[in-house]
């Protein structure tokens, strides 16, 4: 009778577990390399939706329209300078011109943004806009959006395209805003007189006295979620504003406040005009990142790109890290990749890829900026407000090469931009269906290069693979050590050689051992006990983390109410010598977190000797789940998080293992190299632990002049993340924080 | 009791049902053609072509060879026992605010986008659906349109209240139907002169389809199938309503920029009118000046301006409407033609006459037969002063929109906002200092403004009627406080649409009425999606009527107050009392749409998994342990023959002969089995989906 055949899959599994450390390291390294290789894997963009047909029609926007735009820009500026309230001047100007076109127009007052952290809403709704309270009052001066609608002559009117030009009046309009308004009006007139429109065009002149986002979000909210049951009292303190808004009744019986709609919004374009930042050529910068890394359909960016580059000869840019492009090490890497590409091309012609070092570095810088923008979870402009209603929108920042020099230069510039915007509008107008053909999940590594979800999932997959592998290895190891320590205590008469058994067979061996020796059952029980304790530890830390994540609104309200009391008694409390209010809030929050952590830890069961293995296995499991869930909410957060969290949690092991006498001597593997290895891991752990991370963050984002300033900076960041509903906030507090606390727990056990 | 009667009347009048029908009983077939032109406040021009075909009753005149009446239509009437039918093809939106809502022409011809069809049949109840189905197919063939889609009961409503009609009513709408010349040509074929002579020669296709509004309409009424025996003959009214924008001349001096563009028939249609259709009994062009426009002109008139036109009786000069001269005045110049007669609107009631605000409309008639090729009719207006006026608007302006986002749920909101210029309001005079003013134009005893709403929603938008909320001026009110009556028929999946009919009565001083009803978005099967499903799904327009308001306009000679009766069908049409009706815009709902390439992916993916499963299963089932061992022994034996050979066979996939022999048939069998199973499942999937 031959030996029992070894089954393939269990054998492979056992091999995997046996070499899990090496495999983990290889996987992690491969993940890192893949992240760095992403620019080389990027594909060129292409127009996926045939109906868009960019550039198929010749734009009619010409020098005459551009001259009109400049004339109207001057007109609005002179009106603003004359009028006491510049915003009303802009409103009057816009209403006059739009009515002359017999286009629909109206004004939409909106309340200022509500105070951050004044409510517990986090995921429920975009909360950047204030809502009227039940009695219809609010604080602050309301902003007023001006909206005009060109009705497409022969269309059904159930689809629309939105054009947004934010403006701000500070005594006068800035050159960019002034030109943007004139430019918008020229386009509006062009569309008002055209007969090719199939979708209505809505032009929103967003009053960005608070921010462009607030204005656009307020308008979109009224468009999609109007409240009929709230009496609207806009509390304009200024009587002239009141008079203009309410008495400005138009001839056909409507008031200027009559909100009008134009059907489903197909796309949104937010236009900014700025003078150049030292660039030579006229260029156009596209920002597309919405809340939590949501991107508009890639086709929209493609259309802008193809029209700007191929039709108008404009340079197109996306956000990038400029200083990264000078980095010497990245340049070496780029040259190395270039060599590899050439070499591969020599071996087989179709393997080769042309990627010059400068292209690679540029791609990497852009990619990292893209990842950063997505990971922060804050929209990069007013277009983010559209994404909350599943509307594809981008911000186009049109930058003049020079400084808006002469009128001729302006005309030349506006002609180019006008033809571009008209072309984009024609493309979107051609669209029969909504945007659905191209990608929604992608990263940009250049304006015309993208990395789709199928590619960028690979590095995350490689990184995440290591965690369950490590957990499984630890799990089998913990059972093994339990059995081993137990059987060592037993008589040697037992012939079962536990160690020679492959890990895959461990469970059966344990059961066998248990059957044979009643004492082994006790061992299994102690092992189970360590798992129970580990579960308690992990859940307590998780619970603490989720509680801590919900503290900020309470802390904020608490401090505010205390301050209110003190301000009533007109006596500043002693603490205010040390803290600013945000700093105090941050300090309170940190104190509450630490105190509650210490309280909770004091209730933990006393750890056993080998408990850390079970805790680490659970930690790895929790980290996998956390990162996996985060990747669904915001991929970039998950990718960046995995780069830090994976080595941290994999390398966690008790400090005693490094110097002290090893607990499991039978392993005999306490070589210098092993200890060095452990030391390295511990270093990684220390670097990744919250205090170090905080300190480094303080160094980078806070001004390092004083720790109080940094504290307030931290609080401001927390407020920001909370109010935008960024996925980074739950990641840091619910995934990263408990995991690093557990790492410290392991280090100290 | 009185309330009940008025309620009944209101019910009876929702669907164009003509209360005062003073249709002439003709002895002969008669055909007439009319063109109404009306300048609109935003500089555009309304052109309304009306072709009327009258057929005397068959019973009294016997079946005869039709000379003028289109045979195709007559056969429809005979075959499907149609009492009334209306079909409209519309492109573009009617702008109720700028183009008016209250006069007979706009109220009847402002139609929802796409195709709308309703018909009243005189057939037994169980045959109504079949008759409707056949009618849709017949019309589909007749007008080259996909009216046959209306055969599906899932998008056809049966308005619950029969509204004084003795037959059975069916209503359907296709909001996505595109309208083009393909529909116009068959429509023209129904006319005796086609487009060879008469007014139809104006219909230059590129011009009429480039306008802002285009509505082809057919209205058919037959007295042949009344329950109480035939009364009246059959009448067919074909109308084409256009709103055209006169092209601006390229260079306009700055001082003239505020003026409306000049227009004439030739400028609008690029054709001139050279004569009437020889078969038409009358052929007229009417130029209508709205009351508010006349008022605007009056305000603009100056005292020194007094032009006495030649064809007015000099004695009657003082009677000419308030010194306004219709041909040449400071406001405009009538170009190229002089009217054959000038008519003035006769106020409907004494109250209206008393109102100083109310200025009658003017109608200038031109007889087409007076013009010829040598002297074509090319009437037009040349503006001289910027005159702004507001058309007669309905009591409310209506918007309907969707709220919410996402593919799961949403709500339909209807908002009615009061028009301050409204006829009804100017009448009710609800000013703070005059709260107890007599409510005049309305029936006595009416306690508020009545609004009826008819809304039909396809089944895949699942309305929850219990969420219906009515908010008046920001105050939510209970439905029973405002609803006079309400009829709701919930939808049934793939069988019938949800229909909401209700009549609200709101106080006069209500300025905003909003209704919301929530819905869930349903799922469609993959084959139920139309092409371009990602565009979304159109919901037909809702219809709003105001039972207290009727549109009817009668004209008399300028110098008399007597109600002269003109018996041309055009004036008869104006005289008919109809309810003011306003259509809302149609809506676009995005449903969760599958990725249509996905079934392919699903099939390939499932097939791969199944293939793996079947492969390993077969492997297990067909393995013979004994044989395997024997083989193993053999291979170990053959190892002695040379390690090199085994290595080679390993790398080049060649196996030793003995192994080869055993396994030859297995993969083939496996393959056949897997392929057949896979094919079976694939077929099942494709058919099932």
Residue of A nearest to B513 (CA): A228
Interface test with A, best of B245, B292, B403, B596 (most A CBs within 10 A): B403
Spell out which residues of chain A touch residue B40, defining contact as CB-CB under 8 Å: none
Query: What is the model's pLDDT at position B59?
Result: 64
Per-residue pLDDT, averaged over A61-85, amounts to: 91
Give the range among A402-406, A695-699, B99-103, B114-118 with minimum mean pLDDT. A402-406
The confidence band for A203, taking pLDDT boundaries of 50, 70 and 90, is: very high
* B175 close contact with A: CB closer than 8 A: yes
**CB-based contact A253 B419, cutoff 8 Å:** yes
Inter-chain residue contact A264 with B402, CB threshold 8 Å: yes
When mean pLDDT is compared over A93-107, A246-260, B12-26, B55-69, the highest value belongs to A93-107
CA A622, CA A612: separation in Å to the nearest integer?
A: 15
Q: What number is the average pLDDT over the span A82-107?
A: 88
Give the residue, B654 or A221, on which the prediction is more confident.
A221
Closest CA to A321 of A272, A280, A288, A370: A370
Q: B323: pLDDT confidence band, cut at 50, 70 and 90?
A: very low
- For A153, other C-beta atoms within 10 Å of its C-beta total 19
- pLDDT, tens digit, for every residue of A543-556? 999 999 888 888 88
Integer Cα distance of B149 and B137 in angstroms: 9
Could you give the C-alpha distances from A516 to A494, A508, A509, A698, B243, in angstroms and in order? 9, 12, 10, 60, 98
Q: Which chain A residues contact residue B113 at CB under 8 A?
A: 156
φ, ψ of residue B645 to 5 degrees: the values are: -60, -45
- Residues B40-62 pLDDT 10s: 988 899 999 999 998 887 766 56
* Structure tokens belonging to residue A612: 């850390």
Token pair for B348? 């409907």
Per-window interface: B 372-401 vs A, CB < 8 A: 388, 390, 393, 397, 399, 401
**A158, A263 in Cβ contact below 8 A?**
yes
Please give the average per-residue pLDDT across A336-359, as a whole number: 79
CA dihedral A619, A623, A629, A632 (to 10 degrees): -170
User: If phi over 0 gives left and psi between -120 and 50 gives alpha, with beta otherwise, what is residue B94?
Assistant: beta
Q: How high is the pLDDT of residue B51? A: 94
Per-residue pLDDT for B318 more than 50? no
Q: How far is B370 from chain A (nearest CA, A)?
A: 36
Please give the pLDDT value at position A747: 84
Q: Closest approach of chain B CAs to the CA of A260, in angstroms?
A: 8
Least confident of A438-442, A573-577, B296-300, B382-386: A573-577
**CA A500 – CA A493 distance, rounded (Å):** 16
Write out chain A residues lying below 8 Å of B425, CB-based: none
Which residues in B lie closer than 8 A to residue A263 (C-beta atoms)? 401, 585, 587-588
Question: Mean pLDDT, to the nearest integer, of A189-211?
Answer: 91
In chain B, residues 509-548 whose CB comes closer than 8 Å to chain A: 512, 514, 516, 532-536, 538
Mean pLDDT of A662-690: 67
Percent of chain A with pLDDT over 70: 80
Residue-wise pLDDT for B606-640, tens only, equals 899 999 998 888 888 887 777 777 777 776 655 55
DSSP bridge pairs for A268: A162, A393
> pLDDT value at position A714?
82
Largest CA distance in chain A: 106
Contacts of residue A8, defined as CB under 8 A and 6 or more positions apart, other chains included, come to none
| Those residues with Cβ within 8 angstroms of residue B186's Cβ, 6 or more apart along the chain or in another chain | B142, B143, B144
Q: Does B64 have pLDDT greater than 70? A: no
Mean pLDDT, range B650-656, rounded to an integer: 53
Question: Residue B517's pLDDT is what?
Answer: 94
Best A252, A260, A297 residue to mutate vs chain B (most B CBs within 10 Å):
A252
Q: B585 in contact with A at a CB cutoff of 8 Å?
A: yes
Q: Which of B114, B421, B534 faces A433 most closely, judged by CB atoms?
A: B534
Which of B41, B92, B535 faces A153 most closely, judged by CB atoms?
B92
- CA A344 → CA A331, A347, A348, A349, A361, distances in Å? 20, 5, 6, 8, 20
Q: Which residues of chain A are within 8 Å of residue B403 when distances are taken between CB atoms?
A: 224-226
- Residues of A in Cβ contact (< 8 Å) with B405: 224, 388-390
Pick the residue from chain A with its C-alpha nearest to B392.
A252
Q: Where are the alpha helices (DSSP H) in A388-517?
A: 407-430, 453-489, 506-516
Q: Is B584's Cβ below 8 Å from some Cβ in A?
A: no
pLDDT in tens, B342-376: 888 877 665 555 555 567 788 888 899 888 888 89
The 8 Å CB, 24+ separation contacts for B190-195 are: B190/B53, B190/B70, B190/B72, B190/B73, B190/B218, B190/B236, B190/B238, B191/B31, B191/B51, B191/B70, B191/B238, B191/B277, B192/B31, B192/B53, B192/B68, B192/B277, B192/B279, B192/B280, B193/B277, B193/B278, B193/B279, B193/B280
- Looking at the predicted structure, is the pLDDT value of residue B390 above 70? yes
Instruction: Kindly tell me the burial class for residue A265, based on how many C-beta atoms sit within 10 Å of its own C-beta (0-12, 13-18, 19 or more).
Output: buried
Residue from A104, A158, A231 whose CB has the most chain B CBs within 10 Å, to mutate: A158
Q: How confident is the model at residue B521 (pLDDT cuts 50, 70, 90)?
A: very high
**Contact assignment for B590 to A195 by CB distance below 8 Å:** no
Helix (H, G, I), strand (E, B) or coil at B616: helix
Residue in A740, A537, A745, A719 with CA at minimum distance from that of residue A626: A740
B43/A contact by beta carbon, under 8 A? yes
The mean pLDDT of A564-586, rounded to a whole number, is: 72
B9 vs B381, more confident: B381
Residue A506 confidence (pLDDT)? 39
Measure B636 CA to nearest chain A CA, in Å. 13
Confidence of residue A496 (pLDDT cuts 50, 70, 90): very low
**Residue in B22, B7, B59, B21 with CA at minimum distance from that of residue B228:** B59
Separation of alpha carbons B102 and A700, rounded Å? 69
The reported pTM is 0.85
Bridge-based pairing of strands A43-44 and A449-452 is antiparallel
Residue B16 is predicted with a pLDDT of: 39
DSSP codes, B443-465: PTT--SEEEEEEEEE-TTEEEEE
Helix A20-41 vs helix A453-489: crossing angle, to nearest 10 = 170
Find the mean pLDDT for residues A97-115.
Answer: 85
CB-based contacts of A201: which residues, under 8 Å, 6+ apart? A149, A150, A152, A160, A161, A162, A163, A188, A191, A425
pLDDT at position B239 is 95
Which option is the CATH number for B396-553+579-589: 3.20.20.100, 3.40.50.170, 1.10.1060.10, 2.60.40.740?
2.60.40.740
Does residue A538 surpass a pLDDT of 70? Answer: yes
pLDDT of residue A557: 84
Sequence-separated (6 or more) residues with CB below 8 Å from residue A470: A20, A24, A616, A617, A620, A649, A650
- Which of B408, B474, B594 best probes binding to A when mutated, by most A CB atoms within 10 angstroms? B474
Say whether A153 and B476 touch across the interface (CB within 8 A): no
Q: What is the pLDDT of residues B474-487, one digit of tens each?
A: 888 998 889 988 88
The edge-to-edge listing of strands for the beta sheet with B263-264 is: B263-264, B380-383, B332-335
Low-confidence winner among A132-136, A143-147, B356-360, B583-587 (lowest mean pLDDT): A132-136
Q: Residue A367: pLDDT band by 50, 70, 90 thresholds?
A: very high
**Which of A156, A198, A202, A294 is the mutation pick for testing B, counting most B CBs within 10 A?**
A156
- The 3 state secondary structure assigned to A549-576 is HCHHHHHHHHHHHHHHHHHHCCCCCHHH
Q: Which chain A residues contact residue B210 at CB under 8 A?
A: 195
Taking CA–CA distances from A154, the nearest residue in chain B reads B92
Q: How far is B539 from chain A (nearest CA, A)?
A: 10
Backbone φ and ψ of B665, nearest 5°: -85, -25
A45-59, A570-584, B42-56, B450-464: least confident range: A570-584
Provide the 10 A C-beta neighbour count for residue B410.
Answer: 20
Q: What percent of chain B has pLDDT over 70?
A: 76
CA distance B513 to chain A (A): 9
- Chain A residue numbers with beta carbons less than 8 Å from the beta carbon of B92 are 153-155
B 196-215 near A (Cβ less than 8 A): 210-212, 214
Interface contact B406-A390, CB threshold 8 A: yes
In chain B, list all ranges with CATH 2.60.40.740. 396-553+579-589
What is the ipTM for the molecules in this complex?
A: 0.84
| Tens of pLDDT, residues A616-672 | 999 999 999 999 999 998 999 999 999 989 988 888 888 777 665 544 444 445 567
Helix axes A453-489, A506-516, angle to 10 degrees: 20
Q: Which residue of B has its CA nearest to A433?
A: B535
Chain B, residues 622-651, CB within 8 A of chain A, namely 629, 632
Mean pLDDT of A703-714: 72
pLDDT over threshold 80, residue A522: no
- Between B545 and B429, where is the model more confident? B545
Residue A583 in 3-state DSSP? helix
Q: Is the pLDDT of residue B541 over 70?
A: yes
Write down the pLDDT at residue A661.
54
B chain contacts of residue A224, beta-carbon cutoff 8 Å? 403-405
Asked whether the predicted pLDDT for residue B682 surpasses 60, the reply is yes
Of residues A673 and B613, which shows the higher confidence score?
B613
- Summary mean pLDDT of chain B: 79
User: In the predicted model, what is the mean pLDDT of residues A9-25?
Assistant: 85
pLDDT band at A238 (very low <50, low <70, confident <90, very high): low
Tell whether A696 is within 8 A of chain B (Cβ).
no
Residue B543: which H helix or E strand, with range? strand B543-551
Work out the percent of chain A whose per-residue pLDDT is above 90. Answer: 30
* CB contact (8 A) between residue A434 and residue B471: no
The full length of chain B comes to: 689
B328 touches chain A (CB under 8 A): no
pLDDT the model gives residue B460: 93
The 8-class DSSP code of residue B246 comes to P
Do the Cβ atoms of A433 and B533 come within 8 Å? yes
Q: Between chains, do A229 and B534 touch, taking CB under 8 Å as contact?
A: no
Length of chain A equals 749
Is A156 in CB contact (< 8 Å) with chain B?
yes
**DSSP strand pairing (A264-274 vs A392-399):** parallel
Q: Within an 8 Å CB–CB cutoff, is residue B586 touching chain A?
A: yes
Q: Are B92 and A230 in contact (CB < 8 Å)?
A: no
Question: Per-residue pLDDT averaged across A249-268, rounded?
Answer: 77
State whether residue B181 sits within 8 Å of chain A by CB: no
Q: Chain B partners of A228 at a C-beta cutoff of 8 Å?
A: 413, 415, 471, 474, 512, 514, 516
Task: Give the count of Cβ contacts less than 8 A between chain A and B.
Answer: 105
Segment (H or E) for A742: helix A737-748
Instruction: State mean pLDDT over B147-160.
Output: 87
């Amino acid at each position: 009778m031959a030996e029992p055949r070894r089954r393939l899959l269990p054998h492979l599994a056992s091999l995997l577990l046996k070499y899990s450390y090496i495999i983990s390291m290889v996987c992690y390294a491969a993940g890192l390399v893949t992240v760095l290789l992403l620019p080389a894997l990027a594909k060129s963009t292409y127009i996926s939706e045939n109906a868009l047909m960019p550039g198929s029609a010749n734009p009619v926007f010409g020098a005459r329209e551009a001259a009109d735009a400049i004339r109207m820009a001057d007109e609005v500026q002179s009106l603003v300078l004359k009028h006491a309230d510049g915003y009303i001047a802009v409103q009057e100007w816009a209403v006059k011109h739009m009515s002359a076109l017999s286009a629909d127009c109206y004004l939409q007052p909106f309340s200022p943004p509500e105070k951050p952290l004044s409510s517990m809403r986090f995921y429920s709704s975009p909360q950047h806009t204030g809502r009227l309270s039940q009695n219809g009052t609010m604080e602050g001066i309301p902003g007023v959006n001006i909206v005009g609608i060109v009705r497409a002559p022969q269309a059904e009117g159930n689809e629309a395209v939105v054009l947004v030009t934010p403006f701000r009046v500070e005594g006068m309009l800035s050159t960019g805003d002034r030109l943007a308004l004139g430019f918008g009006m020229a386009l509006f007139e062009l569309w008002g007189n055209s007969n090719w429109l199939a979708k209505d065009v809505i032009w929103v002149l967003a009053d960005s006295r608070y921010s462009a986002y607030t204005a656009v979000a307020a308008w979109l909210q009224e468009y999609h979620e109007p409240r009929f049951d709230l009496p609207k009292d806009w509390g304009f303190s200024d009587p002239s504003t009141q008079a203009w808004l309410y008495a400005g009744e138009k001839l056909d019986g409507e008031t200027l406040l009559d909100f009008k709609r134009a059907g489903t919004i197909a796309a949104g374009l937010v236009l900014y005009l700025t003078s150049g930042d030292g660039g030579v050529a006229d260029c156009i910068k596209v920002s597309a990142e919405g809340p939590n890394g949501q991107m508009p359909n890639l086709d929209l960016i493609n259309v802008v790109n193809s029209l700007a580059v191929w039709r108008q000869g404009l340079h197109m840019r996306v956000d990038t890290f400029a200083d990264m492009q000078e980095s010497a090490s990245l340049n070496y890497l780029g040259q190395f990749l270039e060599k590899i590409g050439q070499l591969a091309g020599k071996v087989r012609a179709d393997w080769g890829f042309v990627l010059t070092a400068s292209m690679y570095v540029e791609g990497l810088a852009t990619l990292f900026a893209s990842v950063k923008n997505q990971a922060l979870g804050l929209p990069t402009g007013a277009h983010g407000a559209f994404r909350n209603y599943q509307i594809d929108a981008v911000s186009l920042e049109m930058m003049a090469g020079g400084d808006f020099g002469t009128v001729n230069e302006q005309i030349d510039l506006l002609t180019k931009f006008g033809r571009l915007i008209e072309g984009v509008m024609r493309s979107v107008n051609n669209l029969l269906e909504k945007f659905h053909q191209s990608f929604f999940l992608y990263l940009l590594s250049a304006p015309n290069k993208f990395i789709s979800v199928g590619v960028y999932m690979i590095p995350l997959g490689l990184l995440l693979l290591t965690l369950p592998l490590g957990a499984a290895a630890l799990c089998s190891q913990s059972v093994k050590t339990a059995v081993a320590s137990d059987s060592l205590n037993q008589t040697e008469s037992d012939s079962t050689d536990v160690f020679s058994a492959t890990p895959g067979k461990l469970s059966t061996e344990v059961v066998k051992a248990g059957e044979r020796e009643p004492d082994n059952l006790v061992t299994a029980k102690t092992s189970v006990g360590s798992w129970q304790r580990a579960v308690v530890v992990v859940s307590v830390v998780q619970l603490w983390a989720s509680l801590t994540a919900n503290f900020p609104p309470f802390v904020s309200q608490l401090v505010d109410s205390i301050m209110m009391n003190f301000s009533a008694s007109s006596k500043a409390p002693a603490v205010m010598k040390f803290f600013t209010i945000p700093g105090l809030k941050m300090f309170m929050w940190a104190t509450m977190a630490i105190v509650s952590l210490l309280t909770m830890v004091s209730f933990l069961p006393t750890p056993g000797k080998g408990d850390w293995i079970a805790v680490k296995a659970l930690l790895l499991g929790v980290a996998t789940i956390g990162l996996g869930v985060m990747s669904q909410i915001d991929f970039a957060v998950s990718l960046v998080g995995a780069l830090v969290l994976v080595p941290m949690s994999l390398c966690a092991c008790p400090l005693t293992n490094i110097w002290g006498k090893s607990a499991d001597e039978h392993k005999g593997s306490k070589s210098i190299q092993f200890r060095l290895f452990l030391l390295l891991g511990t270093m990684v752990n220390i670097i990744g632990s919250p205090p170090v991370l905080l300190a480094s963050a303080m160094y980078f984002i806070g001004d390092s002049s004083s720790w109080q300033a940094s504290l307030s900076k931290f609080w401001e960041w927390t407020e920001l993340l909370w109010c935008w509903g960024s996925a980074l906030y739950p990641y840091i507090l619910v995934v990263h924080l408990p995991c690093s606390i557990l790492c410290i727990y392991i280090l100290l056990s | 009791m009185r309330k009940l009667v008025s309620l009944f009347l209101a019910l009876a009048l929702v669907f164009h049902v003509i209360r005062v029908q003073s249709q002439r009983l003709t002895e002969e077939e008669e055909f007439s053609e009319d063109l109404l032109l009306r300048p609109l406040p935003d500089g555009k021009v309304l052109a309304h072509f009306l072709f009327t075909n009258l057929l005397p009753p068959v019973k009294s005149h016997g079946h005869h060879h039709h000379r003028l009446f289109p045979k195709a239509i007559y056969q429809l009437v005979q075959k499907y026992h149609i009492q009334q039918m209306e079909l409209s093809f519309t492109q573009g939106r009617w702008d109720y605010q700028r183009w008016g809502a209250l006069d007979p022409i706009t109220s009847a011809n402002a139609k929802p986008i796409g195709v709308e069809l309703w018909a009243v049949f005189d057939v037994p109840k169980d045959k109504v659906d079949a008759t409707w189905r056949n009618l849709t197919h017949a019309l589909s063939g007749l007008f080259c349109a996909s009216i046959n889609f209306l055969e599906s009961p899932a998008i056809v409503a049966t308005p619950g209240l029969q509204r004084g009609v003795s037959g059975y009513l069916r209503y359907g709408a296709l909001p996505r139907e595109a309208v083009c010349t393909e529909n116009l040509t068959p429509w023209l074929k129904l006319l005796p002169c086609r487009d060879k002579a008469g007014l139809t020669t104006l219909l230059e296709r590129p011009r009429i389809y480039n306008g802002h509004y285009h509505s082809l309409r057919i209205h058919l009424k037959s007295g042949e199938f009344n329950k109480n025996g035939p009364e009246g003959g059959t009448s067919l009214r074909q109308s084409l309503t256009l709103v055209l924008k006169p092209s601006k001349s390229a260079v306009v001096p700055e001082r003239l920029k505020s003026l409306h563009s000049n227009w004439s028939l030739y400028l609008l249609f690029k054709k001139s009118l050279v004569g009437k259709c020889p078969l038409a009994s009358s052929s007229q062009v009417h130029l209508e000046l709205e009351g508010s426009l006349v008022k605007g002109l009056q305000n603009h008139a100056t005292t020194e301006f007094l032009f006495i036109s030649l064809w007015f009786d000099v004695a009657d000069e003082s009677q000419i409407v308030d010194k306004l001269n219709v041909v040449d005045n400071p406001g405009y110049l009538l170009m190229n033609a002089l009217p054959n007669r000038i008519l003035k609107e006769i106020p409907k009631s004494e109250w209206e006459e008393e109102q100083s605000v109310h200025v009658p409309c003017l109608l200038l008639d031109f007889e087409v037969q007076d013009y010829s090729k040598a002297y074509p009719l090319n009437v037009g207006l040349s503006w001289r002063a910027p005159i702004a006026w507001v058309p007669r608007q309905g009591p409310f302006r209506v918007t309907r929109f969707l709220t919410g986002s996402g593919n799961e749920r949403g709500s339909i909101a209807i908002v009615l906002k009061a028009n301050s210029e409204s006829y009804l309001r100017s009448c009710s005079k609800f000013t703070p200092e005059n709260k107890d003013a007599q409510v005049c134009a309305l029936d006595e005893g009416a306690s508020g403004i009545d609004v009826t709403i008819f809304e039909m929603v396809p089944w895949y938008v699942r309305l929850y009627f219990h969420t219906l909320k009515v908010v008046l001026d920001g105050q939510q009110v209970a439905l029973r406080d405002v609803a006079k009556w309400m009829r709701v028929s919930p939808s049934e999946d793939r069988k019938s649409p949800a229909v909401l009919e209700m009549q609200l009565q709101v106080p006069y001083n209500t300025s905003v009425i909003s209704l919301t009803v929530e819905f869930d978005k349903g799922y469609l099967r993959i084959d139920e999606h139309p092409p371009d499903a990602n565009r979304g799904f159109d919901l037909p327009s809702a219809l709003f009527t105001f039972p207290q308001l009727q549109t009817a306009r009668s004209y008399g000679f300028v110098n008399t107050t007597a109600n002269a009766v003109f018996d041309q069908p055009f004036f008869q049409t104006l005289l008919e009392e109809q309810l003011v009706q306003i259509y809302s815009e149609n809506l676009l709902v995005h449903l969760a749409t599958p990725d249509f390439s996905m079934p392919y992916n699903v099939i390939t993916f499932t097939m791969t998994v199944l293939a793996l499963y079947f492969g390993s299963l077969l492997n297990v089932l067909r393995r013979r342990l004994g044989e395997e061992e024997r083989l193993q022994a053999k291979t170990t034996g053959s190892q002695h023959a040379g390690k090199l050979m085994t290595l080679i066979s390993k790398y080049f996939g060649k196996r030793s002969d003995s192994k080869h022999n055993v396994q030859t048939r297995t993969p083939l069998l496996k393959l056949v089995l897997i392929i057949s199973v896979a094919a079976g499942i694939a077929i099942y999937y494709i058919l099932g989906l």
